[in-house]
Amino acid sequence: MSATREAPVERPVRADERLAAVGIWRRLLVKPELGSLIGAVVILAFFSAQSDVFRGLSGIANWLDVASTLGIMAVAVALLMIGGHFDLSAGVLTGTTALTVGIVATELDQNIWVAIGAALVLALAIGFANGWLVTRTGLPSFIITLGTFLMLQGLNLGLTKLFTGTVVVRGIAEAPGYHSAELLLASTINVFGQPFRVAIVWWLLATAVASWVLLRTRFGNWVFATGGDEVASRNVGVPARRTTITLFMTTAAAAWLVGSITAVRLTSVQANTGTGQELIYIVAAVIGGCLLTGGFGSAIGAALGALVFGMTQQGIVYLDWDADWFYFFLGAMLLLAVLTNRLVRRYAEAARR
């Protein structure tokens, strides 16, 4: 008597959730730069509808110029914030480097390229000191860089008075090598007959390089890992201390570039140059999608955040509004960006589950 064999029951195959298709809207909603892109489009449309000058070539050149130097710093500050840290000395450091260029070139009678090189060495040393102190002491970067901010503010004023007897360094245009430095850092590029500042090119280049580093290199993975959970990142072999120090030095290098552009363009530098700008850099990065807690953000978003500021600042002028309203919009945009970024982060975490 032969036993009957039951046919095997076919069970439905469950798809691997890691391979599940993700809709385009979901992918867009978790992009850090989405909010800043929407904000930039809205502000562009609003001021363009209100002002003919704003949407003309001269207006575009003006608000791109404002956004460019702010954007260079915002991109570097965004990288640092993604890595989980702040640098409150970033603004005053632009003034320190600009003053260094001016003092070395005019008071010490050096070629301007020597002065620019000296400013770079000084900036990198300050950035290294900030990063080293943060990693070695374990103190919050807010406290460390606040101390650096105060020290640099005092040095800027004291050394400027010591060398010049005033609070302004003048005569940079008379330094040897000035014209070649002007060509590289402060010249203009004609587009349809309208001059655009070369700083805009530096801004776009900085944004492209930072985006590539964040998204396409091992160091970019280290930045996200360090900002997300520094202890866990160390446990899996991420050189968190070296990454943090490199990020602080990157911010300092960006401050050197902006300071050099400022010194060469204006040919004179005041002792208080850059003071107070650090908060605007941070706000631009937050508008661009960076979380205050680290581990999330975008270099492109930070560049768009700077663009939002450039358009808002110049748009208020073109509409003949009181310039004091700019700071109202500054605070409002910060609060809106923080709330939006929080919602986006929660949605992104839910989407991964």
pTM: 0.89
pLDDT at 340: 73
The encoded tokens of residue 94 equal: 């632009």
The answer to whether residue 86 is domain-embedded is yes
The rounded distance, in Å, linking the Cα atoms of 313 and 319 is 10
Residue 22 within a domain: no
Q: Residue 12: is its pLDDT beyond 60? A: no
Beta bridge partners of 269: 169
Which pLDDT band holds residue 244 (cuts at 50, 70, 90)? very high
In-domain check, residue 15: no
CATH number of the domain that residue 311 is part of: 1.10.3470
Q: Which helix (H) or strand (E) holds 3?
A: none
CA angle 36, 37, 39 (to 5 degrees): 60
**How far apart, in whole angstroms, are the C-alpha atoms of residue 265 and residue 94?**
14
- For residue 351, is pLDDT > 60? no
pLDDT, tens digit, 9 for 90 and up, residues 153-176: 999 999 999 999 999 999 999 999
Q: Which of 65, 100, 120, 111 has the alpha carbon at shortest distance from 263?
A: 100
Domain for residue 64, yes or no? yes
Domain count, the chain: 1
Indicate the helix (H) or strand (E) that contains 190: strand 188-191
pLDDT at 16: 38
**pLDDT tens-digit series, residues 46-77:** 999 998 999 999 999 999 999 999 999 999 99
Full residue range of the structural domain in which residue 131 is found: 38-343
pLDDT band at 19 (very low <50, low <70, confident <90, very high): very low
Residue 18: the pLDDT is: 38
Q: Are strands 269-270 and 194-197 parallel, antiparallel or unpaired?
A: unpaired
Residue 322: left if φ>0, alpha if ψ -120 to 50, beta else—which one? beta
Closest CA to 299 of 186, 196, 219, 181: 219
Domain assignment present for residue 31? The answer is no
Helices (H), the chain: 24-29, 34-50, 52-55, 57-82, 90-102, 112-137, 141-164, 178-185, 199-216, 218-228, 230-235, 240-266, 277-287, 299-318, 325-352
On the question of pLDDT at 4 being above 60, the answer is no
Residue 17 inside a domain? The answer is no
**pLDDT over 50 at 299, yes or no:** yes
Could you tell me if residue 352 is inside a domain?
Answer: no
Residue 4 lies in a domain: no
The stretch 181-186 carries a mean pLDDT of 96
